[in-house]
Amino acid sequence: MTEQKRNTIVLAIVAGGIVLGSGYFLFGSTKVPTEFSEARTNGALIAQEIVDQSRVTLANLSKISEFDRNFDYSEALLLISNELVKNRESSQDAIRLSSQLERMARTSSDIRPSKAREIATEGLSSEVALVSRLVVYNDLLKQLFEVLRQKFERPWINLDGQVQSLITKINDEAQAINDFNKRFVAAMEVFDDIIAE
């Protein structure tokens, strides 16, 4: 090999290194793994389904209360049965959401810059806490629907104190879920701002 060819090859390698290195500094300083982004999108869709179902459940609780006032126990029992089925589905949604959060957590170590990674981790912590509270919320709803079913099947038994206690706990969990979700959304807005810089 002639010296000119060798110099040309060395020059090409050096030029390639410079191009790759400058590409890293110009374009590679920010990185969000595709799996993280996909899991985030999927998780947002699942979370929206959960929120939508919660709204329906709250509306149905009002209907059940109305049926109770009108002594229409058969309609109340039918709606309670439907809500118990939906409650099981909601528990499955919580599992699906936690699966997406796991995907995000697993790939978050590859996020650059480090500040974005830290913010993503904070957001994930809030969302994991949300899922924990969601599991408790779903369990409390299930308990409420079971107590309501007992109330309508045996109206001579006074279960109003139990119902009120469960509703208070459900409201507390709903508030905690909303707070954790606000933290997650705020963290992800900061994350997006950092990535966009």
Average pLDDT over residues 119-133: 93
Q: Decide: helix, strand or coil at residue 33.
A: coil
Give per-residue pLDDT as tens, 60-104. Answer: 988 998 998 999 999 999 999 999 999 888 889 999 999 999 999
Confidence of residue 47 (pLDDT cuts 50, 70, 90): confident
pTM score of the predicted model:
0.77
The pLDDT mean for the chain works out to 85
Q: Provide, rounded to the nearest whole percent, the portion of the chain with pLDDT above 90.
A: 62
pLDDT score, position 128: 92
Query: What pLDDT does residue 37 have?
Result: 94
Helix (H, G, I), strand (E, B) or coil at 192: helix
| Domain residue limits, the chain | 1-30, 32-196
Q: What CATH number matches the domain at 32-196, 1.10.1040.10, 3.60.40.10, 1.20.120.570, 1.10.10.10?
A: 1.20.120.570
Count CB atoms within 10 A of the CB of residue 138.
Answer: 24
Interhelix angle 73-107/114-153, nearest 10 degrees: 160
The residue type at 155: P
Dist CA 41 CA 60 (whole Å): 29
CB 39 within 8 A of CB 120: no
**In the Cβ-directed half-sphere of 21, how many Cα atoms lie within 13 Å?**
6
